[in-house]
C-alpha cells in the first residue's frame, strides 16, 4: 500500500464487518455500506437495485455511521448477452443512477470523494426515533418505497436534515 501510495481502502461492510473508519499506518479504511447492485447467489449475474432502494441504504448508513459509501460495479452498467458483457452502455441503468444522484442532491446529502470522508464526518445523529424507521426497514416490516416517502416527507417538513451528511 505504501509503495503504491494507497491511503484509502474500502470493501462491502457486510463482508468487512467494520462499523467505522479506522486509520492504521496512514491508511484509512472506509467500508462501503450501500450498493446499486448485488450478485445473485454469488454468481456472475448482477441484480440491479432500484434507486429508491439504494437511497434508503444510503440514509440507513448515514444514520448509523455518519456517512455512506456507495458501491458501484462498472459491469452492471453494460448490456449483457447470456453470460457475456457487451461493450454497450445500458441506458436504463444509467438513468436509474441519474435518479439516485437526483435523490441524493434533493435530500441535501453532499457527494464527496472517499478521501474526504474521514475528515468530514459529522457525528451528530438525527433524532433517535429515526432509527426505528430504518430498523423496521431492515426487518422487512416496511418497504424501501415507504422509507423513501417517509424520509422525504420529514426532509420537506424540515423535521430532519441531511445537509451535513456525506455520500
Nearest of 69, 65, 74 to residue 31 by alpha carbon:
69
User: Sorting pLDDT into bands at 50, 70 and 90, what band is 135?
Assistant: confident
C-alpha gyration radius of the chain: 17
Q: Is 29 helix (H, G, I), strand (E, B) or coil?
A: strand
Summary mean pLDDT of the chain: 78
Distance separating alpha carbons of residues 55 and 100, to the nearest angstrom: 7
Express each pLDDT in 72-127 by its tens digit: 988 888 888 877 888 999 999 999 999 999 999 988 888 888 878 777 665 555 66
Distance separating alpha carbons of residues 48 and 51, to the nearest angstrom: 9
Distance separating alpha carbons of residues 118 and 55, to the nearest angstrom: 21
Percent above pLDDT 70 for the chain = 75
Amino acid at each position: 500500500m505504501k509503495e503504491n501510495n494507497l491511503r484509502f481502502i474500502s470493501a462491502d461492510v457486510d463482508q468487512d464487518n467494520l462499523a467505522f473508519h479506522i486509520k492504521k499506518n496512514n491508511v484509512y479504511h472506509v467500508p462501503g455500506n450501500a450498493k446499486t447492485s448485488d450478485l445473485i447467489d454469488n454468481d456472475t449475474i448482477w441484480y440491479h437495485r432500484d434507486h429508491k432502494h439504494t437511497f434508503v441504504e444510503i440514509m440507513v448508513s448515514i444514520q448509523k455511521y455518519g456517512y455512506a459509501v456507495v458501491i458501484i460495479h462498472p459491469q452492471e452498467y453494460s448490456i449483457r448477452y447470456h453470460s457475456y458483457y457487451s461493450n454497450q452502455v445500458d441506458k436504463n441503468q444509467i438513468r436509474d443512477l441519474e435518479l439516485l444522484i437526483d435523490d441524493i442532491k434533493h435530500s441535501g446529502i453532499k457527494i464527496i470523494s472517499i478521501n474526504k470522508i474521514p475528515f468530514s464526518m459529522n457525528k451528530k445523529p438525527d433524532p433517535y426515533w429515526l432509527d426505528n424507521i430504518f430498523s423496521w426497514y431492515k426487518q422487512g416490516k416496511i418497504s424501501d418505497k415507504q422509507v423513501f416517502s417517509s424520509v422525504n416527507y420529514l426532509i420537506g417538513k424540515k423535521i430532519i436534515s441531511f445537509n451535513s451528511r456525506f455520500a
